[in-house]
A and B are shown apart, each in its own frame.
Chain A
């Protein structure tokens, strides 16, 4: 599991920079840490007398401050702080109901907390993720990010075009070091070293009796790709929000939908989305099937939902069949059609006082509970009483797919085992002529009179099973319960920018993996002729951080090199390469 190449110490070469000089520089593009104390105050030095002097001073001061501010904003420390703030700022939105997620719950919360609500509203705590302060944090973070990426990219390109720095004077000072004597000449050793290093895909460069090599640039590239793809992600997210369209539609079996504004039950769209952006397509719901757990403790829990549809892509596309399930939306014309909910629609035939058919068809009704007990409302605007006078009429009541005799009307199962319809009726003014749009699933009976039972006092009520007919008192009309159909509701969504977001996410993933698993390191090989005629080969390695892998790799390289520079028999004394001496040097 824990086999990353990276190491504990993070940025910065491990040995003291002063000693290593060039060798340890530019091993990453991370911004150098500043000493930490801000230096506000005068950036302009002296302020010469007169208006011009003051203007010059002011200019220098403004630029100085701006620079200082920019450097602060793009420093690692501030990035850290902003990241931390971002995670803190995300918390309240998960604990307080959010308008954009659950309007009902938010309204309920507001109703229950009358003192907190005004404070929360001021602080935009009901819409945290679009609030000013949340946006400010992530925008600052992304400015900081851009301010960080751009210079780092230039620097990285510079490093790619440059060469690995030459060998430091004392290779023994480096974190990993090895040496041996060989009979081979220094030139041969260096050529061989260059070959061995190249074969292992190091970038090499020979200078002054040594070969310098570097590898693992992909780490830096990965890190930059990761940070850039964060920006890609954010932009795609923004595009998705601005150009989205998200609506819903309830369809009874046999019914259909065509994609234009008038056909949606509800629709929400982003500020940049216009009706002209609506792609033409349509579909009909042929059949809806639901199955439920038949036994066990979770009896009645839904197991499968499936909607069989026929759709046309475009105005005159061919008819195609498709199945929509909960995790399997229909994709058509850049839209996705998701299955949301389902329920039953009792089919009725209503005749008015004159015996004319006032309505014939299904009445889609909304579930009240998990067993699909439903609230039934049927409003009839064009309705005549027995004298032929206009008298708007409404039926309302409950539909239950499984009534168990002896229990209340509430359904005992979401399946259609013993459906019943329990209705009452009103007549008078539905209030639909005022022009204010009404919810078809709710009845406002304030201007209506409820039909009375035969005793003239209690309200008129009637329980129906399929095939039965109810007759209103005083010749008000009839309603026949013909049967039951199923309905399904769909969410119809158009959201651009998804492929951008997916691309950004995958790039971020690859980038961060490269950045964390690849180690950037340098290796130097020096070969020097010795007075005794042999050649002293020294190899040393430096990573961005201390790593157990580096000495391993150095040893592997040395083994490969020894094929061309075999170790000579050890002389009696070897002053320069004595490990004890080197160790002593390491720990003064």
Chain B
């Protein structure tokens, strides 16, 4: 018994060391990303990127060229499919990325990604050892929730990178917020590793909270993309009107290197739309748990209210996308409001409002 306790305390200690190490490596990744952006702004492409916004003449093609067919040996060329984009869309190509074509910037960018991978491994190890030390899911209080949340957000980003999605631009904002998230976790929210009160003893803790964490982490990436979309969109709007006021050189140099507004918008929508069913499930699972634990599946407890508000806000966003006059910027504002609701439900409700959910152990 005592041996086990000592082992657990060791693990808890290991977990803390890992989290601090991860923060150190994230800081290095942060600096490397900064270097990437700085070198990118000095490169020729970075400086002149603003000029390459005229529609390219080349249509997008499906470039997969070979496909085997049947069981035979015949190799057919995959037909070229010509695509046309939406009428009225801007057809602005994606920016060249943070490094802006500069080789040195690109090296720093790769270093940053490498460091992020290393930091993620440390981070994930920290979460795992915490879980082992308490012998349960590592999300029984705000400290654990924050660390796990961060790990899942970075993990999602890395998965998207491995799938060759155009997401490297998220690196800098992501690492910055992860540092903030972990900083808050280890300073303000820190809780010693311990067992849970009986109300949290349920397998629904695994299901409900893990879904909430995954939803939040993905929605966070969507929100970053939406925010950048708003900037990039007004940048593009200004470019369309060369006589009008333009952004200053610094801002232009950054915005010129990001993906196009259409790409950012699409990315954000895909994430939000994918997560919406998961968030719906999170709430349903919560209701089932509440039914088992408290004898009512819905009681307008503050946490429940804000989950509901978040859900309705995202439903609003999806409706807005389907309604002609509300696409684009207006829908983007709704998406940001919706994510704001998610964040408030986490920090605001846990810290400032007392409800049945307030055994979060701040």
Residues of A participating in the B interface, judged by any CB pair closer than 8 Å: 1-4, 6-12, 14-16, 30, 33, 36, 76-77, 79-80, 83-84, 86-87, 90-91, 93-95, 98, 100-101, 128-129, 172-178, 180, 237, 246, 293, 295-298, 301-305, 325-329, 336, 338, 491, 493, 495, 498, 501-502, 505-506, 508-509, 512-513, 516-517, 546, 551-552, 554-555, 558-559, 562-563, 567, 579, 582-583, 586-587
Q: Which parts of B187-227 form the interface with A (CB within 8 Å)? A: 192, 194-195, 197-199, 201-202, 204, 218
Q: How far is the CB of B130 from chain A (nearest CB, A)?
A: 15
**A563–B70 touching, CB < 8 Å:** yes
Does B76 make an interface contact (CB < 8 A)? yes
Known: A8-B269, A546-B86. A87 touches B312 (CB 8 A): yes
Does B121 make an interface contact (CB < 8 A)? no
Query: Please, how many angstroms separate the alpha-carbon atoms of A305 and B198 in the complex?
Result: 7
**B326–A562 touching, CB < 8 Å:** no
Does B276 make an interface contact (CB < 8 A)? yes
**B280–A508 touching, CB < 8 Å:** yes
**A14–B194 touching, CB < 8 Å:** no
Q: How far is the CB of B141 from chain A (nearest CB, A)?
A: 11
Query: Please, how many angstroms separate the alpha-carbon atoms of A509 and B288 in the complex?
Result: 14
Known: A33-B323, A77-B325, A87-B313. A94 touches B302 (CB 8 A): yes
Q: How far is the CB of A29 from chain B (nearest CB, A)?
A: 11
Q: Which parts of B276-295 form the interface with A (CB within 8 Å)? A: 276-277, 280-281, 284, 287-289, 291-295
Q: How far is the CB of B314 from chain A (nearest CB, A)?
A: 10
Write out, one digit per residue, whether chain B residues 314-331 have a CB within 8 A of any chain A CB (1) or not (0): 011011111111110000
**A94–B277 touching, CB < 8 Å:** no
Q: How far is the CB of A179 from chain B (nearest CB, A)?
A: 8
Known: A8-B262, A10-B327, A76-B323. A562 touches B198 (CB 8 A): no
**A293–B194 touching, CB < 8 Å:** yes
Cβ-neighbour of B84 out of A86, A94, A174 (below 8 A): A174
Cβ-neighbour of A36 out of B165, B299, B325 (below 8 A): B325
The residues of B that contact A563 with a CB separation of less than 8 Å are 69-70
The residues of B that contact A172 with a CB separation of less than 8 Å are 82
Closest to A511 in B: B277
Query: Which residue of A77, A80, A246 has the most chain B CB atoms within 10 A of its CB atom?
Result: A80
Does B306 make an interface contact (CB < 8 A)? yes
Closest to B305 in A: A94
The residues of A that contact B156 with a CB separation of less than 8 Å are 1
Query: Please, how many angstroms separate the alpha-carbon atoms of A231 and B295 in the complex?
Result: 23
**A559–B69 touching, CB < 8 Å:** yes
Does B20 make an interface contact (CB < 8 A)? no
**B159–A9 touching, CB < 8 Å:** no
Cβ-neighbour of B295 out of A297, A493, A517 (below 8 A): A493
**A2–B160 touching, CB < 8 Å:** yes
Write out, one digit per residue, whether chain B residues 72-97 have a CB within 8 A of any chain A CB (1) or not (0): 00001111111111110001000000
Would you mind naming 13 contact pairs between A and B with Cβ atoms under 8 Å apart?
A1-B271, A2-B270, A2-B274, A77-B323, A93-B305, A94-B302, A301-B195, A327-B202, A505-B287, A516-B318, A555-B62, A583-B58, A586-B59
Q: How far is the CB of B118 from chain A (nearest CB, A)?
A: 22
Q: How far is the CB of A349 from chain B (nearest CB, A)?
A: 34
**B199–A293 touching, CB < 8 Å:** no
The residues of A that contact B165 with a CB separation of less than 8 Å are 2
Query: Please, how many angstroms separate the alpha-carbon atoms of A517 and B159 in the complex?
Result: 20
The residues of B that contact A83 with a CB separation of less than 8 Å are 312, 315-316, 319
Q: How far is the CB of B326 from chain A (nearest CB, A)?
A: 7
The residues of B that contact A325 with a CB separation of less than 8 Å are 198, 201
Does B44 make an interface contact (CB < 8 A)? no
